[in-house]
């Protein structure tokens, strides 16, 4: 297969990691690549300090955005053209002619810095928000992908395998922020039934899982000139986020959302206000396309009912067995009674050969 031949180093890393984690529950902490950088071998967290980010006002493109593009350029899609519409619909998602678009998430731009004006305490202020995948603790995208094309690394990094993805965009629909973006004309669907099914491949930030494996920090973290983005062991980052937020009497975003993520934003203005400002700006620009996420507070993880469902699923067979046992017992008794009724000589024995009836 073409797919297995050009297996990338990244894919190789991901697959060998997955293979090493055979068994029911994945044991975390088996890999120690990030220790070299002084990071823990367990779950990582990133801190995005909105009081420090100024959107790289003095640069053409924010440096984190530029570094992300540079680091991932070889992985950007090179679609086969002409693209086929998503039959029976009259559309196709194509960003290949907008590769330079850096103001939203696209298959060619996995992070961007949003900019809104927010009124807080009577004063209007500029807020710059670096946006990308939050790398959720219970990623709905990874769990609900119909082909299991999305993996979660022990570090917490969530990545899409472009060799497995069919491009149905379910991950984008179930993500509270609609993060993954689709490019048509690439991926496995081209080898199956490109006229009828599939839509391309979904792309998003993978926390530079390849750099983490080498003990290096993600590209956006190491290039930020303001030190607004940092990475470290999850619990340390969480503690630091709340400590800093307390110092500035500010707010934390990402700890509770979607059941917990590995990205912690801190801000001096409430995230409700930022969310409202993003919504208002999008409405004024009539921007309904995916790729510019809001910041809904405490957005619920749709799979939070999963535990109850599993318990019910475990209980159902026992219930079925119990009812069957009772029913079978009663009908066996009933059969005996019937036989006696039909044939008074029958003593109600278990015999099935019927000899006694002759």
In whole angstroms, how close is the CB of 208 to other proteins at the nearest point?
Answer: 19
Burial class (CB in 10 A: 0-12, 13-18, 19+), 343: exposed
CB proximity list for 233: less than 8 A, separation 6 or greater? 39, 40, 42, 43, 44, 45
The length of the chain, given as a count of residues? 358
Q: Which two tokens stand for residue 5?
A: 């031949």
The answer to whether 344 contacts other proteins (rule: CB under 8 A) is: no
The answer to whether 347 contacts other proteins (rule: CB under 8 A) is: no
In whole angstroms, how close is the CB of 343 to other proteins at the nearest point?
Answer: 6
Q: Which two tokens stand for residue 186?
A: 């690439």
| Among 26, 36, 280, 340, interactor with other proteins by CB under 8 A | 26
Q: CB under 8 A: which stretch of 103-111, 215-223, 262-270, 324-332 binds other proteins?
A: 324-332
In whole angstroms, how close is the CB of 334 to other proteins at the nearest point?
Answer: 8
Binding mask 126-145 for other proteins (x = CB under 8 A): -----------xx----xxx
| Among 78, 97, 121, 146, interactor with other proteins by CB under 8 A | 146
- Report, in angstroms and rounded to the nearest whole number, the Rg of the chain calculated over CA atoms: 28
CB proximity list for 309: less than 8 A, separation 6 or greater? none
**Beta strands 251-253; 263-267: pairing state:** antiparallel
Helix (H) or strand (E) holding 134: none
Q: CB under 8 A: which stretch of 67-75, 208-216, 290-298, 305-313 binds other proteins?
A: 305-313
The answer to whether 170 contacts other proteins (rule: CB under 8 A) is: yes
In whole angstroms, how close is the CB of 349 to other proteins at the nearest point?
Answer: 12
Q: Looking up tokens 């993060």, which residue turns up?
A: 179
CB-based contact 116:279 (threshold 8 Å): no
The answer to whether 332 contacts other proteins (rule: CB under 8 A) is: yes
**In whole angstroms, what is the distance from residue 262 CA to residue 19 CA?**
24
Residues that bind other proteins (CB under 8 A): 14-15, 17-19, 21-26, 28, 86, 88-89, 137-138, 143-148, 151-152, 164, 168-170, 173-174, 197, 199, 259, 301-307, 309-310, 312-313, 316-321, 323-325, 327-329, 331-332, 338-339, 341-343, 346, 352-354, 357
């Amino acid at each position: 297969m073409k797919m297995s031949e050009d297996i990338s180093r990244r894919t190789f890393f991901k697959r060998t990691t997955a293979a090493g984690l055979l068994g029911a529950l994945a044991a975390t902490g088996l890999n120690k690549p990030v220790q070299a950088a002084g990071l823990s071998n367990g779950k990582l967290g990133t801190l995005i300090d909105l009081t420090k980010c100024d959107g790289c006002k003095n640069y053409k493109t924010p440096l984190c955005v530029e570094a992300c593009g540079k680091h991932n350029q070889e992985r950007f899609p090179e679609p086969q053209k002409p693209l086929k519409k998503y039959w029976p619909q009259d559309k196709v998602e194509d960003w290949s002619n907008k590769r330079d678009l850096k103001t939203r998430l696209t298959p060619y731009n996995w992070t961007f810095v949003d900019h809104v004006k927010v009124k807080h305490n009577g004063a209007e202020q500029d807020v710059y928000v670096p946006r990308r995948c939050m790398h959720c603790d219970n990623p709905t995208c990874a769990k609900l992908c119909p082909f299991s094309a999305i993996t979660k690394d022990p570090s917490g990094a969530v990545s899409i395998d472009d060799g497995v993805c069919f491009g149905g965009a379910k991950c984008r629909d179930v993500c509270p922020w609609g993060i993954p973006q689709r490019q048509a004309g690439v991926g496995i669907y081209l080898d199956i039934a490109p006229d009828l099914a599939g839509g391309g491949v979904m792309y998003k930030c993978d926390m530079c899982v390849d750099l983490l494996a080498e003990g290096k920090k993600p590209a956006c973290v190491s290039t930020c000139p303001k030190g607004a983005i940092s990475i470290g062991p999850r619990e340390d980052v969480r503690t630091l986020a709340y400590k800093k937020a307390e110092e500035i009497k500010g707010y934390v975003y990402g700890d509770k959302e979607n059941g917990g993520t590995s990205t912690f934003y801190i801000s001096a203005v409430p995230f409700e206000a930022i969310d409202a400002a993003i919504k208002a700006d999008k409405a004024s620009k009539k921007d309904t396309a995916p790729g510019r996420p809001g910041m809904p507070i405490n957005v619920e993880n749709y799979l939070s009912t999963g535990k109850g469902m599993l318990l019910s699923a475990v209980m159902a067979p026992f219930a079925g067995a119990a009812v069957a046992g009772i029913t079978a017992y009663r009908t066996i008794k009933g059969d005996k009674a019937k036989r006696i009724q039909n044939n008074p000589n029958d003593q109600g024995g278990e015999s099935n050969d019927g000899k006694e009836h002759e």
